[in-house]
Amino acid sequence: MDILVVLEDNRGSLHRMSKEAIAGAQKMGGSISALAIGVNADAMAGELSDVDITEVITINHDFVSSYNADGYSDVVSQVIKSESPKTIVAGHSYQTRDFMPRVSAKLDIPFIPDIISMDDGIVKQVLNAKLNALVTTSADQVILSFQSATFSEEAMVTGSCLTRSIEVNLDSSIVRSEAEEPFQEDAGDVDLESAELIVSIGRGIEKEENIQIAFDLAKALGAEVSASRPVVDSGWVEPFRQIGSSGQNVSPKLYFSLGISGAIQHVVGMKGSKNIIAINKDPDAPIFEIADYAVVGDVLEIVPKLIEALNN
Ligand SMILES: Cc1cc2nc3c(=O)[nH]c(=O)nc-3n(C[C@H](O)[C@H](O)[C@H](O)COP(=O)(O)OP(=O)(O)OC[C@H]3O[C@@H](n4cnc5c(N)ncnc54)[C@H](O)[C@@H]3O)c2cc1C
């Protein structure tokens, strides 16, 4: 086995970042196995039945029926020891950040987290995303995690794959913690994850009274409204609208960014968007580095005119 992809259960279905990790593994090349753990392991394997990988290994044991860091790190370590993959990959999710460092420490395998590209070697951001670093390793085995949207789930190559169920020995003394139900922000009636058009508000909107123009633009476009963290922290919009590392991950057909600077903590939540239009007064705003259409100007002047034009 060349690559082992550790999958993540997202309330009974495969996490989007696990699909991205499979697309990444396929791009890297070699024989690929995926590992599904827990009560939904078979359901996750089912979702991959038409994907071009060698196999999905499923494990369901009472002590890892749902996620807990002690059990997962032990199970993943056991599989790595018995299957000897050269590379272990996963999405860089909160769950991966929780248990993967333990696997790395247990097995003494280097862990290179939060990778943004594999095109010309392993690339990750450093110094609060101000620089990209090319990372190399001389170790025989390595663990990698991919930042959200580094690969597109739509790039997964279809084919067929087998399912293999394996038994693990887990001692109850190992599992010292128990995970509660995953936290989910009250989403109201808004489903940002499946929204095709999103208008997103940043601090450039300047004050609460101006928020309405973003909602008016969203209405004219038939879009949902999201926001950066400072806008949420100011109480101008509800917390479930926050996009970014401590909010939601979205990948709409169009992400319309109004007065958002493009800090890395925001960008990780929206860089998978198919098209990005950004309006910002500052021509050097980092959001323009990932925008497909960059509009240098004042949102408070441009947006009302745009709404008028759309409504006409
Ligand atoms: C642990 C941690 C987690 C975080 N999680 C998140 C997260 O999940 N989501 C998130 O968004 N942030 C998050 N942040 C905060 C993040 O670092 C940034 O501070 C935040 O994204 C900035 O929001 P902003 O772009 O709206 O505001 P600013 O960075 O203040 O940018 C405002 C932008 O608006 C432009 N502007 C100003 N006036 C106008 C105008 N009239 N017209 C046009 N443009 C204008 C400015 O040029 C500027 O580029 C997190 C930070 C930390 C430390």
For residue 266 and ligand 1, the question of a CB distance below 6 A is answered with: yes
Q: Which two tokens stand for residue 57?
A: 């290994």
CA 260–ligand 1 middle distance (angstroms): 5
User: Which residue is closest in CA terms to ligand 1's atom 26?
Assistant: 202
pLDDT at 129: 79
pLDDT 10s digits, 181-214: 776 656 666 788 889 999 999 999 999 999 999 9
Q: Is 286 in the pocket of ligand 1 (CB under 6 A)?
A: no
Residue 90: strand, helix, or coil: strand
| Class of residue 120 by CB neighbours under 10 A (exposed 0-12, middle 13-18, buried 19+) | exposed
Q: Are 34 and 15 in contact (CB under 8 A)?
A: no
Which one-letter amino acid corresponds to residue 93? S
| Atom 38 (ligand 1) nearest CA | 204
Neighbouring C-alpha atoms within 13 Å toward the C-beta of 148: 24
Q: How far is the CA of 294 from the centre of ligand 1 (A)?
A: 17
Closest atom, ligand 1, to C-alpha of 298? 42
What's the pLDDT at 114?
A: 94
Q: What is the pLDDT of residue 189?
A: 66
pTM: predicted TM-score of the whole model, two decimal places: 0.84
Percent of the chain with pLDDT over 90: 84
- Of 162, 167, 139, which Cα lies nearest the Cα of 34? 162
Q: Which strands, in side-by-side order, build the sheet including 275-280?
A: 224-227, 197-201, 254-258, 275-280, 293-296
* Cα-to-centroid distance, 231 and ligand 1 (Å): 8
137-161 per-position pLDDT tens digit = 999 999 999 998 899 999 999 999 9
Provide the pLDDT for residue 183: 67
Res 188: pLDDT: 63
Which residue in this structure is represented by tokens 């060698």?
54
How, if at all, do strands 131-135 and 122-126 pair? antiparallel
Round to whole Å and give the CA distance between 103 and 95: 13
Pocket test for ligand 1, best of 93, 213, 246, 302 (most atoms within 8 A of CB): 246
pLDDT of residue 182: 72
Q: How far is the CA of 77 from the centre of ligand 1 (A)?
A: 39
The answer to whether the CB of 230 is under 6 A from ligand 1 is yes
Ligand 1: residue of 261, 296, 306 to mutate (most ligand atoms within 8 A of CB) is 261
Domains, the chain:
3-165 (3.40.50.620), 197-311 (3.40.50.1220)
188 neighbors 240 (Cβ within 8 angstroms): yes
Spell out, as residue ranges, where the chain has pLDDT lower than 70: 183-189
How many angstroms separate the CA atoms of 287 and 228, rounded?
12
Gap from CA of 304 to ligand 1 centroid (Å): 22
The confidence score (pLDDT) of residue 184 equals: 65
Is the Cβ atom of 228 under 6 angstroms away from ligand 1?
yes
Distance between first and last Cα of the chain: 59
- Residue pair 20/151 in contact (Cβ under 8 Å)? The answer is yes
Determine the pLDDT at residue 76: 98
Pairing of strands 197-201, 55-59: unpaired
- Give how far Cα 124 sits from Cα of 87, 110, 112, 128, 140, Å: 17, 15, 8, 11, 20
